[in-house]
Structures are given as structure tokens and as C-alpha cells.
Amino acid sequence: MSGDSDSPDTIAAYRRFVSLERDVFVLSVAMFAFSLGFQMTSRYVPEYMAALGASAVVIGLFGTVGNVISALYPYPGGALSDRMGSRLSLTVFGLLSSLGFLFWLIAPTLGPIELGAVTLEPWIWIFVGLFLAQAWKSFGLGATFAIVKQSVPPSQLARGFASTEVFRRSAFLVGPLIAAGVLYFFADFAVGFRYVLAVAVVFGVAATAVQHYLYDSEEDSFGKEFEGLIAIRNDLRNLPSELRPLLVGDILVRFGNGMVYVFFVIVVTQFLEVGLELGPLSLSPAVFFGVLLAIEMVVALVSMPPAAKIAESVGLKPVVALGFAVYAVFPVLLVSAPDDALVVALLFAFSGLRFAGLPAHKALIVGPAERDTGGRVSGSYYLVRNLLVIPSAALGGVLYGGLSIPGTDLAYAGSPTLAFALASLIGVVGTVYFLVFGEEFEAYA
């Protein structure tokens, strides 16, 4: 095959974005900038919270609050867009996200605060910042699915999603590298990370300004399609039956991963304590973690386009199952790894393959939907999945760090190995369930 639209390579994905209409391209650039700021910071926030005195249980609750926000923000975001219009709502969401990064930045200076018998520790403000930092993500999930659904033939849905994912996830590569570069110059992680947060604030403000002045929403209709709770209920009831096995498997896989996701950085920096010594170059565990995230994302970016192309020959289901399997086994492999930099780097490279199945996964979600319902179907799917995954991080925090019941002798000491092994077991069950009961989208069959 020839031509940009048929090429599965990574460069073609960028070419496709350059040719987008101005408004969609502006939104894509804003998406990249906010993803950059969030990826520079969010994967390090659990370590930052630990430096501010938060326990493993509190860090697990942080992950659970993030799950709640991911599940509940999109629909209120749609309602606000209805009232304010797309341009103004995007600007407000962008400013709120930037303010969230700022709260994370100034958290150490805002406590502890004594309120009678209650002491507000500095890490409290990390939760406040989280509610703000994810605001921009409340807009556009369904619209993204709808755009791809309406723009490519059914048999090339996975390839269409690969293009959007490659562009967006480039920020997942660059962000951790920027963070690692900044942290390299600071012996004190908490001090260095505040400089990373300052850079994220700058990115957020700049992206907000760009989208406010360059985005023309006169012909945009995405902010006018939210119809309230009745529409949500109807969309959930009308979710295509073909999606149910996928949804069950996805929930189990994501629940397992969600139990330990926020602890990946702590396992690398505190449990394994693995850094990198390469001649005169010495990377602390915190800096090395940023490099590991970059390695993971390089594999992701390289593997997504060809995996999407392969799906056109073998079907979506095997490719999705591959991604699920990598999600499932990575936690137990990581917690069992030796404190060897090469081994851990290879594990994170392996972890990058979970993204190879992401375009096929999205195609399998939106494929069975009628042509004008792609946004609603995807929104309903993610609403159900994210709601059921909410408790995962809190459970993982208890298993990882332990818990005692005040006034009793009942206590659990906690075990990182147990938490990560159970997370993998749940993920494997989800993968097997999907392999047994999952259905193929007929355009790929």
C-alpha cells in the first residue's frame, strides 16, 4: 500500500494530524500540552505525597479519588459545555487544570494546619489539586471517538485510533523525560519535583491561551449534545450486547492494574531502590523512573500503528487480548524483579506493549455502535468501567501498606508482594474471560 492514509508507521500518524482542520488540530495541540503537563507530574505524585508524609493507604485513596474523577467528570463537563459553549468551557477547564498543578506546587507551604484536634497535613492539598488538574480531561472523550468513527472505514477503525493515540501519547514520552531531566539536578526529590510542577503550570497556561485565541467554535456541535441523566440511563440500557464480554474483561483487567498503578513509582524508588550507574552518569531511582516511563512509551508509540494494521488481518480480539495480558502480568513481574537496572528497563519496555492493543480496543468499543452514536456508546462504556474500578486503588493501598483498626488489636502489616500478585491474578482472570467470551467486530472478522 502507499500513501499516508494507508501507512501503518508512526510518522504517518503525525502527518494525518498536520492535515486536520484547524479547530480539531488546535484541540489536538491543547490535548498534547495538557497531557504533557499531566504526565510530567502525575506518575511522580505518589512519591511526592510520600515525601510530604502520606501513608500507603492515603496514596491508595489518592488513586481511588482519581478513579472517581475519571468516572464522573465527563458528563458534568458536557453539561457545562452546553451552558457556556465549547470555547469558554475549554478555557475554564484549562485554567482549572493549571490551577491544579499550582496547588500541587505550593502544597508543602500550606501545612500542617492545626484545626482544633485535627491537623491538615500538606498532602491534603494534593487531593484538592487533583480535582482541578483533571478538569480539562472532562471534555472531548466522546467527541474523539465520534470523530474517528465518522472519519474512517469500519475495517480501519483501529488504524484511525492509532493515529490519535500516537499523537496524544507522544506527550507521555516527552513528559517523563522532562521530569527526569529536571530531577537530575536536585538531590532532594521534593524540591526538584516542585520545579517540574512549575513547568507544568507554564504548559497549562500556554495551552489555555492558545486554544482560547485560536479555537473557533462557531460550527462546533459537541457542546450541544448533552441531554442529562435520562440520556445517560438510556445509553447504558442500549449498550450493544457485543460489548458486554469486553466490558467485563476490561473491568477486571483495569481493576487489577488500578490496585497498584499509583505504587509503580514507589516500588522502583523505595521497594527495589533501583537506579542507573553508567560510567560517570549516575541516575537516582526517581530520575531513573522517568527514563523507564520514556522507554515504556517508546515501545508503545512504535508498536501501536503496526498492531492496528495487524488487527486488520488477524482481527481485533487477539490484539486486544495481548494488551490485556501485558496489563495483567506486569505488576507481579515488577514486584518480583531484582534491583537490576537492565531487568527493570526491559520490564517497562514489555509494559509498553499493553498500549499496542489500545487502538484495537477502542475500535472494538465503537465498532458495533450505529454511525451517529459512537460518542454516546463510548461514553457509556467508560462510565460503567470507571465507576466499577473506583475502589481498586484504595484496596491496593490497604494491601500494600497495611491497616489497623483503632481501639482493637486487629491489624494487617501490609505486603507489596501480595498486593501486586493479587492485582496480576485479577487481571489474568479478566484476560481469560475476554478470550473465552469476547466477540469480534464483524468488520474485522
pLDDT tens per residue, range 61-104: 999 999 998 888 766 665 566 566 667 777 888 899 999 999 99
What's the average model confidence in pLDDT over 212-216? Answer: 75
Instruction: Give the tens place of pLDDT for each residue, 225-252.
Output: 445 566 667 766 767 777 889 999 999 9
> Which region among 54-58, 80-84, 334-338, 376-380 has the lowest average model confidence (pLDDT)?
80-84
State in Å, rounded, how far the first CA of the chain is from the last one. 21
Q: Are 190 and 48 in contact (CB under 8 A)?
A: yes
The mean pLDDT value of the chain amounts to 82
Cell of residue 27, nine digits: 484541540
CATH number of 10-215+227-437, picked from 1.10.630.10, 3.40.50.2000, 1.10.3720.10, 1.20.1250.20: 1.20.1250.20
Angle between helices 56-72 and 124-133 (to 10 degrees): 20
Reported as a single tens digit per residue, the pLDDT across 289-301 is 999 999 999 999 8
* Residue 169, pLDDT score: 75
The mean pLDDT value for 249-268 works out to 96
Report the distance separating Cα 328 and Cα 426, nearest Å. 7
Closest by alpha carbon to 296, among 344, 359, 329?
344
Contact 381, 365 (CB under 8 A): yes
Mean pLDDT (whole number) for 343-363: 92
pLDDT exceeds cutoff 80 at 134: yes
Q: How far is residue 362's CA from residue 146's CA, in Å, rounded to a whole number? A: 11
pLDDT computed for residue 2 by the predictor = 42
Q: Please state, as a whole number, how many other Cβ atoms lie within 10 Å of the Cβ of residue 383.
A: 20
Task: Name every residue whose Cβ is closer than 8 Å to that of residue 80 and which is 6 or more positions away in sequence.
Answer: 89, 92
The helix or strand, by DSSP H or E, that contains position 277, with its residue range, turns out to be strand 276-278
State yes or no: pLDDT of 223 exceeds 50: no
Look at residue 224 and tell me whether its pLDDT is greater than 50: no
Most trustworthy range by pLDDT among 220-229, 371-380, 421-430: 421-430
Residue 341 has pLDDT above 90, yes or no: yes
Q: pLDDT tens digits for 354-409?
A: 998 888 888 888 766 555 445 566 767 878 888 999 999 999 999 999 987 777 77
Q: What percent of the chain has pLDDT over 70?
A: 75
Give the three-class secondary structure for 281.
strand
Quick check: 95 and 242 in contact, CB under 8 A? no
Q: Kindly report the number of other CB atoms within 10 A of residue 77's CB atom.
A: 21
For the chain, the C-alpha Rg in angstroms (whole number) is: 21
Of the two residues 353 and 315, the one the predictor is more confident about is 353
CB 239 within 8 A of CB 380: yes
Are 315 and 404 spatial neighbours (Cβ–Cβ below 8 Å)? Answer: no
- Domain-wise residue ranges, the chain: 10-215+227-437
Q: Determine whether 329 is exposed, middle or buried from the number of CB atoms within 10 Å of its CB (0-12, 13-18, 19+).
A: middle
How many other C-beta atoms are found inside a 10 Å radius of the C-beta of residue 372? Answer: 10
- For residue 22, the tally of other CB atoms under 10 A from its CB is 10
Alpha-carbon distance of 41 to 200, in angstroms, equals 8
Residue whose C-alpha is closest to residue 179's, from 283, 59, 298: 283
DSSP 257-270: HHHHGGGHHHIIII
Cis peptide before 416 (omega within 30 of 0): no
What φ, ψ does residue 187 adopt, rounded to 5°?
A: -75, -35
Q: CA 330, CA 352: separation in Å to the nearest integer?
A: 10
